[in-house]
Structure 1
């Protein structure tokens, strides 16, 4: 049997990634909803549809600073205005003079009415006088105080916002599953909403395991490896909207690990561990969490998945509250890819967000690449939009294990299990990374 055939045979024993993800995500449920004050709702996902209890705008109002008037008075159809010669160069050859009978600001509340030949000076947001159907901008006038001369006639309705024009009462403002953005907070507030029912942000605890790990602030040396994973995964969990807590480093001590995980269940909706998922002599997480006790399987099941990099992943629950736990590999690149394909969708599902996976596009491959047989590879890449539509994707050097490639990538090139070579010019799938830069 050839080396290629051996690789394919070994890959056939692995669980397809799609099957594995389906089996894991079916075991998760969105967190119970909470009624939150509007100021606390940003960043969460709505658990219920939200309907406007009041109209927006709530009343007829001026949209610009100027003079509220009757359009028939300034268009020449009324009897009230006086016509005087226009300044040199004014279109139409004449101006219109109206009496200014008062000022209205945003805090004005007494109802007033226009009479023919009169107008009110108004600020943007001020309630309109009864019978007003146009606001002449300040810059189209001589800005008079007792009387105003209008040099240019706007169309009927200019500068006016009618009650309910934008959002009538009863309008569906947002559906369940919608992310509460700053703009949506403004919409809710403007229509009289002070509380909304949302899914809370998942509380995610990150634990790095391994006797070899040391904390940041120093360089690695033989027998010691700087813990990059827990810091990176904490940042990744926060980026997706979780309340992320980095516990730090846990040695390969069975009782210490069990005790730590039990303690963290009190404040976690999801626990992520990194390291020890393989079958080597130092892979204690897999040994400890998958150990059968009392004839029952361990709390976490470890599966060899057709994924590159990092085939070994774990999922299960720990503690009396059965808090979900995701176990990722110890290699930093494999841990970050594992987070993307498993932990990130789990967090999204707990948060009630849809869709749970990153958006993807089809892109024109700029460089020929090879991929391991039987494995679904996720490779750092740079995606760009083409003139005229579509995308191109450039794989970054070093492959999926390079941290520098992951740091530069704005997408992940996805090569399926049956792809061993993807030629330049072919069309491939790419996950888009929502990097904020």
Structure 2
């Protein structure tokens, strides 16, 4: 039996690195930039006003005050989008709007609040500081500046900056193509009324959703019976278009031989007993000519989802190039006594809540059974109890893994 950490290390050390590809800027959102993007232009591209007011020469307003305002004729208007270069002559003002090209000769903008908002003539009661409310060309980005570095997560601000420097497309680390497949002759698709002995294929839906939440580009291949020919043809077809294959099921005595035989013909997969609850049976290897990694998860829905969190989610984030592979942990006080099997790391479903006095408390949801999907759906965290701890007393602090969507 291996530890959880040993199995995680085995998976992460065997994963391929996906090469960057060129994507439309919006399609790269959420990914890591795969190139150094150097600006060839200035931002802003020209001097312009940041407010609604009047473009002036400060020399005309030196003595302006509420008691003795300066009186200036308004000789023109400067509107955003106009390419006409206007000029402020001594002793005059130009009405200007946010984003409009700064008139020549103007060295400040007077806010409307400092004026009587005159149309033909304007009274100004205060002299603005030099350069006030003017956005200078290139004060944000100069030609040759690095706009986005390699490895930078591309979020809304980076998308905006890339667009601002004229990039329609950008190199980015792609989302790994993840194929999810359930194995079992007892499985029927959603919408089919199961007969006695049959089960609805829950795992391919749940695991596909989990893989999508982790950042993968997911294809749900559905379910396939534990039949050698059917399984082999399905696997061979999926290997042509996937970067990571996630299988659930196949550990039952009736199907294990078929699954292991098919996978061994395609590559090398090692099956292990991992010291955890739920989810002891696990498998990992690489198959096909492209050596596609395959993660084998248990049959029961809760075991499959917990195992995904522990092993498959970090794998997907690793292939994305993310630095934070694992969900952040926190501490919380247990609201009741908990038991855990010796020598196995337990992942109990829990409900994490903030305590009115500060800190967090966590309550177990449902039992420890690996089939109790309802309790998994009610939980917002996993309570993680180490292998060397067999009981947690009420009020004691425990480690908690919040299951935050998209985190």
Please say whether Structure 1 and Structure 2 have the same fold, judged by a TM-score greater than 0.5: yes
Gap runs ≥5 in structure 2? none
Gaps spanning 5+ residues in structure 1: where? 1-13, 78-82, 84-91
Find the aligned partners of 1:114 and 1:94 in 2 and give their Cα distance: 22
1:185 maps to 2:159? yes
| Residue deviations 1:329-357 (CA, integer Å, cap 9, x gap) | 11111111111111111111222222222
What is the aligned counterpart of 1:114 among 58, 83, 88?
A: 88
Query: 2:353 matched to 1:379?
Result: no
Contact 1:380 1:406 in 2 (8 A): yes
| Aligned with residue 306 of structure 2, among 337, 342, 349 | 337
- Mapped partners of 2:71, 2:217: distance in 1: 62
Mean CA deviation greater in 175-184 or 17-26: 175-184
1:261 to 2:210 alignment: no
1:299 aligned residue? 268
Deviations 1:158-200 (A, max 9, x none): 4322233334444444443333222210011113333321111
Deviation at 1:227, TM superposition (A): 0.7
The equivalences for 1:247-396 within 5 A come to 247-278=221-252, 280-284=253-257, 286-289=259-262, 291=264, 299-385=268-354, 390-396=359-365
Distance change in 2, residues 1:169/1:368 (3 Å):
farther
The answer as to 2:382 corresponding to 1:416 is: no
Instruction: Provide the secondary structure at the position in 2 that maps to 1:36.
Output: strand
Distance 1:164 1:254, change over 3 A: same
Q: What's the TM-score, normalizing by structure 2?
A: 0.89
Instruction: Indicate whether 1:69 and 2:56 are aligned.
Output: yes
1:247-302 CA-to-partner distances (Å, cap 9, x unmatched) read: 11101101211111111111111111111135x234356533465x6xxx952111
RMSD: 2.8
TM-fit CA distance, 1:93: 4.2
Q: Which deviates further from its counterpart, 207-216 or 65-74?
A: 65-74
What CA distance in whole angstroms lies between the structure 2 residues aligned with 1:61 and 1:386?
51
Q: 2:26 aligns with which of 20, 39, 63?
A: 39
What TM-score results when the alignment is normalised by the length of structure 1? 0.83
Residue 299 of structure 1 aligns to a residue whose secondary structure is strand
> Which residue number corresponds to residue 425 of structure 1?
395
SS at match of 2:223: strand
